[in-house]
C-alpha cells in the first residue's frame, strides 16, 4: 500500500547528498556513452606483466587530463552479476539478496535513467550487446527501464569465429554497432555491454596480440584473464578512434566501469604473486579489497582529470551522473549518493551485508583494520569502535532492507516524481524475437 513508501522516503530524504557546485551540470547536453567492462577489476589498471602494460589505453584514460577516475570504487553485485550491476547503475537501487532482480521483478515500476534523460532532456536511448536479447531477461527488463532501442545479437553477424560463448567479440561489437549508433538522434544515452572478458576468458589465437605475453601461472584462468583484459583494452581504443574521427568525442562523456570480479576468491592466492601481494598472508580482507573495479568518467576537453580516492560503489553512479548532466536528484528515490558531493558518505555496502569504509572493513564475520590488514578481536575491541561497528551494521541492513522493500512491494508504482510519466513497456518494440 502507498503508506509503505513513507519509511523509504524518510530514509532517502535524510540520505540525500547535495551536488558539488564545481561539477554540477558540466556535462549538460552531451551524449552519454556507458561502457560496461565485463569482469574487469581495478588491479588490471596499471598492471604490468613481463614489463608490459596489460591495458595501456585504459591506463591512459585513468591518468588522463579529462578523466575523473576513482581508485576506491567497489562492485556491489549479488547473484545477478552483470544484471545487478546494470540495475544499480540504471536505478540506484540494490539487486536482490538472492537471484536476479532483472529476472524476478521486471514487471515492477521503475524510474530509471533511460526514462529520466529521455523525458527530462529529450535524449534518445539504446543498448548495444552481442548476446541474445533474452539473456538476463533484458528484452523484457529494458522496456520497463524505458530503453527505446536494444541492439542485441540479432542485429549483427555473430557467426563462426565472430563470437565467443557470450556473444559477439568486443572489437566487432564496437565496429558493427556504428551504423545503428550513427542513426540515433543526438543527444543520446547509450550503453555498450562487452562480453569477451568473461569467464573462461577464451579468445581465438587470431584475435590475440602476438606482442602481448601473458603470465605463466599454473592457473589457466588467470593467464587467460590478462589476454582478454588486453583484448578489451584494444577494443576500447579502437572505439575511441572511431568516436574521435566521427566528431562524437567532443560532444560526449564516456563512462567506463567494471561490473564485478573476473577472478574468484578461490583463485586470489595465485593472483596475489602476479599483482605484487604476498600469497602466504592472504586473508578474507584481501579478498574484499580486491572487489574494487574501475569507475571513470571521461569528459573530453574538460581538463578536470584526476584520481579521486573517495570510497563508493555501483549504487552511487546514477546520482553522480545525474548531477554532472545538471539533473537534480532530489525528487527521485535513489539509494546512492553523488561521489563528487562533499556530503558523500564513505560506507560501501556489499549485497551480503559486508561493508568497506576507508579505515575498516567488515567481512567473514569480522571487522578488519585496513591499514594493518588484521582482524580486530571482538574481546579486545575498544568500546567506541564496537559502537561504531554496530552503528554501521544497522545502517547497512536498514539500507538494504528498504531497497528490498521497494522492490518486493513494487512501491514505485505509488510514487510520482515531478515531470515523470510512468513507463508502459508495451510502448517499446525492439524488433527482435526472443530466443
Ligand atoms: C551476458 C553477459 C554476462 O549477456 O552480460 O553476464 P554475467 O555472467 O557476467 O552475469
Ligand atoms: Mn558480468
Instruction: Using alpha carbons, list the distances in angstroms from residue 49 to 18, 64, 320, 435.
Output: 42, 22, 34, 41
Helix axes 113-121, 138-145, angle to 10 degrees: 40
Q: Please list the ranges in the chain whose pLDDT falls under 70.
A: 432-435
Say which of 10, 55, 67, 82 is annotated catalytic: 82
348 and 328 Cβ atoms separated by less than 8 Å: no
H/E element holding 7? Answer: helix 5-15
Report the distance separating Cα 174 and Cα 172, nearest Å.
5
Q: Which atom of ligand 1 is nearest to the CA of 83?
A: 10
Distance 26 CA to ligand 2 centre (A): 30
- Residue 39: what pLDDT? 98
- Residue 379: what pLDDT? 92
- Residue 431: what pLDDT? 87
Question: For atom 3 of ligand 1, which residue has the closest CA?
Answer: 82
Question: For atom 4 of ligand 1, which residue has the closest CA?
Answer: 131
343 and 350 Cβ atoms separated by less than 8 Å: no
Q: Is 198 in the pocket of ligand 1 (CB under 6 A)?
A: yes
Q: Which atom of ligand 1 is nearest to the CA of 259?
A: 9
135 alpha carbon, closest ligand: 1
52 Cβ contact partners less than 8 Å away, ≥ 6 residues apart = 212, 213
User: What is the CA 148 to chain-centroid distance, rounded?
Assistant: 21
Q: Is 36 in the pocket of ligand 1 (CB under 6 A)?
A: no
Distance 87 CA to ligand 1 centre (A): 13
**Sign (positive or negative) of CA dihedral 416, 417, 418, 422:** negative
Report the distance separating Cα 222 and Cα 364, nearest Å.
24
Known catalytic membership, residue 82: yes
301-335 pLDDT, tens digit each: 999 999 999 999 999 999 999 999 999 999 999 99
**Sign (positive or negative) of CA dihedral 167, 168, 170, 173:** negative
Distance 430 CA to ligand 1 centre (A): 20
Give the 3-state DSSP-derived string for 105-144, with helices as H, strands as E and coil as C.
CCCCCCCCHHHHHHHHHCCEEEEEECCCCCHHHHHHHHHH
Q: Is 193 in the pocket of ligand 1 (CB under 6 A)?
A: yes
Question: For atom 5 of ligand 1, which residue has the closest CA?
Answer: 82
Question: For atom 9 of ligand 1, which residue has the closest CA?
Answer: 82
Q: Which three cell numbers stand for residue 44?
A: 588490471
Beta carbons within 10 angstroms of residue 416's beta carbon? 12
165 alpha carbon, closest ligand: 1
327 Cβ contact partners less than 8 Å away, ≥ 6 residues apart = 116, 117, 120, 121
String of b and e for 210-245 (b: at least 16 CB within 10 Å)? eebebbeeebebbbbbbbbbbbbbbbbbebbeebee
On the question of a cis peptide bond just before residue 200, with omega within 30 degrees of 0, the verdict is yes
Q: Is 82 in the pocket of ligand 1 (CB under 6 A)?
A: yes
Distance 295 CA to ligand 1 centre (A): 18
DSSP 8-state secondary structure symbol assigned to residue 33: E
Q: Is 75 in the pocket of ligand 1 (CB under 6 A)?
A: no
47 and 53 Cβ atoms separated by less than 8 Å: yes
- Residue 432: what pLDDT? 54
Distance 82 CA to ligand 1 centre (A): 5
Burial of 298 from C-beta contacts in 10 A (0-12 / 13-18 / 19+): buried
H/E element holding 101? Answer: helix 101-104
Amino acid at each position: 500500500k502507498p503508506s509503505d513508501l513513507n519509511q523509504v522516503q524518510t530514509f532517502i530524504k535524510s540520505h540525500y547528498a547535495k551536488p558539488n557546485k564545481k561539477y554540477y551540470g558540466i556535462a549538460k547536453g552531451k551524449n552519454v556513452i556507458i561502457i560496461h567492462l565485463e569482469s574487469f577489476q581495478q588491479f588490471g589498471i596499471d598492471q604490468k606483466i613481463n614489463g608490459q602494460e596489460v591495458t595501456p589505453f585504459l591506463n591512459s584514460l585513468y591518468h588522463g587530463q579529462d578523466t575523473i577516475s576513482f581508485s576506491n570504487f567497489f562492485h556491489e553485485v549479488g547473484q545477478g552479476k552483470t544484471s545487478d550491476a546494470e540495475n544499480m547503475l540504471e536505478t540506484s537501487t540494490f539487486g536482490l539478496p538472492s537471484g536476479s532482480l532483472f529476472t524476478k521483478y521486471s514487471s515492477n515500476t521503475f524510474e530509471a535513467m533511460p526514462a529520466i534523460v529521455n523525458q527530462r532532456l529529450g535524449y534518445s536511448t539504446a543498448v548495444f550487446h552481442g548476446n541474445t536479447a533474452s539473456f538476463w531477461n533484458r528484452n523484457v527488463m529494458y522496456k520497463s527501464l524505458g530503453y527505446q532501442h536494444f541492439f542485441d545479437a540479432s542485429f549483427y553477424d555473430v557467426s563462426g569465429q565472430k563470437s565467443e560463448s557470450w556473444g559477439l567479440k568486443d572489437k566487432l561489437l564496437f565496429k558493427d554497432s556504428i551504423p545503428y549508433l550513427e542513426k540515433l538522434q543526438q543527444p543520446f544515452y547509450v550503453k555498450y555491454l562487452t562480453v569477451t572478458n568473461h569467464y573462461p576468458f577464451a579468445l581465438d589465437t587470431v584475435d590475440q596480440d602476438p606482442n602481448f605475453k601473458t603470465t605463466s601461472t599454473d592457473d589457466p584462468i588467470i593467464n587467460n584473464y590478462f589476454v582478454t583484459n588486453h583484448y578489451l583494452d584494444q577494443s576500447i581504443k579502437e572505439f575511441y578512434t572511431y568516436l574521435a574521427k566521427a566528431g562524437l568525442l567532443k560532444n560526449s562523456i564516456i563512462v567506463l566501469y567494471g561490473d564485478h570480479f573476473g577472478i574468484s576468491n578461490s583463485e586470489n592466492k595465485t593472483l596475489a604473486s602476479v599483482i605484487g601481494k604476498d600469497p602466504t598472508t592472504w586473508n578474507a580482507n584481501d579478498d574484499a579489497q580486491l572487489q574494487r573495479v574501475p569507475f571513470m568518467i571521461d569528459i573530453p576537453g574538460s581538463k578536470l582529470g584526476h584520481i579521486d580516492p573517495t570510497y563508493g560503489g555501483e549504487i552511487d553512479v546514477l546520482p553522480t551522473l545525474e548531477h554532472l548532466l545538471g539533473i537534480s536528484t532530489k525528487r527521485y528515490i535513489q539509494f546512492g549518493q553523488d561521489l563528487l558531493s562533499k556530503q558523500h558518505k564513505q560506507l560501501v555496502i556489499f549485497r551480503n551485508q559486508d561493508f568497506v569504509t576507508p579505515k575498516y572493513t567488515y567481512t567473514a564475520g569480522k571487522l578488519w583494520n585496513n591499514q594493518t590488514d588484521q582482524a580486530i578481536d571482538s574481546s579486545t575491541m575498544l568500546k567506541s569502535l564496537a559502537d561504531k561497528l554496530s552503528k554501521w551494521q544497522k545502517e547497512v541492513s536498514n539500507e538494504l532492507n528498504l531497497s528490498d522493500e521497494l522492490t518486493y512491494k513494487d512501491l514505485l508504482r505509488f510514487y510520482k516524481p515531478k515531470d515523470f510519466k510512468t513507463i508502459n513497456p508495451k510502448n517499446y518494440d525492439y524488433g527482435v524475437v526472443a530466443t
